């Protein structure tokens, strides 16, 4: 019987399991996003330090090579 008390109880257990799994998944995803944000911040800091210590003429040449049209 699909509408009996046993079916309703099983449906409620399934809904609770889905809600718990969703909560765990979203929590793990939030933690990973925080980790990635931290890694991005660290990389930005490292790149900023690198740009600060590189001679500007080298950066200009590097950027020119990267944006130059291909000869092929």
Instruction: State pLDDT tens for residues 19-52.
Output: 999 999 999 999 999 999 999 999 999 988 888 8
Tell me how far apart the alpha carbons of residues 1 and 19 are, in angstroms, rounded to a whole number: 25
| pLDDT of 53 | 82
| pLDDT of 66 | 64
> Is the residue at 40 inside a domain?
yes
pTM over 0.75: no
The count of structural domains within the chain is: 1
Please name the residue that has the structure tokens 């509408």. Answer: 3
| pLDDT of 45 | 94
With a cut of 80, say whether residue 18 has pLDDT above it: yes
> Is the residue at 70 inside a domain?
no
- Angle at the Cα of 51 from the Cα atoms of 50 and 56, rounded to 5 degrees: 135
3-state secondary structure 11-64: HHHHHHHHHHHHHHHHHHHHHHHHHHHHHHHHHHHHHHHHHHHCCHHHHHHHHH
Q: What tens digit of pLDDT does each residue of 4-16 get? A: 776 776 678 788 9
> Is the residue at 36 inside a domain?
yes
């Amino acid at each position: 019987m699909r509408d009996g008390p046993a079916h309703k109880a099983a449906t409620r257990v399934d809904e609770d399991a889905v809600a718990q799994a969703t909560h765990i998944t979203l929590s793990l995803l939030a933690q990973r996003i925080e980790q990635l944000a931290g890694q991005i911040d660290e990389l930005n800091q490292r790149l900023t330090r690198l740009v600060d210590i590189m001679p500007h003429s080298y950066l200009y040449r590097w950027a020119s090579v990267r944006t130059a049209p291909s000869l092929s």
